[in-house]
Amino acid sequence: MLLDEDPGTLIHHTIGNFNIHPDKQAITRINDSLSTLQQSRDLRIREAESAMRKLSRHLNSLSTQHEEAVAVHDSGKHAAEIVELDTKKFRIAKAASELEIESERLESELEMLKERLVDLESQGLEGDEATRREREADDATILRLKIFRSLGVDIEPDEAGNFNRAVIRNSRKGDVHVVNIDPKFSRLFYANYFWSTMQG
């Protein structure tokens, strides 16, 4: 009985009964999504290829710079520069150490001088008793030397400051006598000897 009907009508009714319109819409949506995905994939591939070309160019540039740097680099000269810098560093460290030692010495000397200044200020202008005695003894020695010179006798000190040599000039005779003073002889002996030499 089915074959008695028009096949076209049967197909039309069959298609209507299957309700394929939602399926066609789903297929259309899938095709659109696939197309969008393909476009996005193509775009990412192009971007990756562009980045790869850029990185390749950068790599070539760096390789060229590296080759030039290696060609210019002189290991012997570099080692000599390192040695020179080490020498300079050692000299600077040595100088700094010496300056530090000298600074400590000067600080110690400054402290000693400050203490000495405090002592001197506390003693006043005349100084302490020992200083006054020493100054008076020096004044007496200078006075004696002046008296001796006025009589024509020069007393000469040695390196230690001891007066052990006398030069006696006799202006009347034009004589000069050099006397080495020996401590084993008394002062009276030398006084008489000087006097007789000046008078004779």
The count of domains in the chain is 2
pLDDT at 90: 93
The answer to whether the CB of 171 falls within 8 A of the CB of 152 is yes
Residue span of the structural domain in which 91 resides: 77-124
The answer to whether the CB of 170 falls within 8 A of the CB of 198 is yes
- Which DSSP state fits 199? H
| 142/116 same-domain check | no
pLDDT at 94: 92
| 117/151 same-domain check | no
pLDDT at 130: 65
Which residues are within 8 A (CB) of 132 and not within 5 positions of it... i.e. 6 or more apart? 126
pLDDT at 38: 92
Low-confidence ranges of the chain (pLDDT < 70): 1-5, 73-74, 123-141, 145, 148, 151, 171, 198-200
Write the pLDDT tens digit of every residue in 162-195. 777 777 777 677 777 777 777 787 777 777 777 7
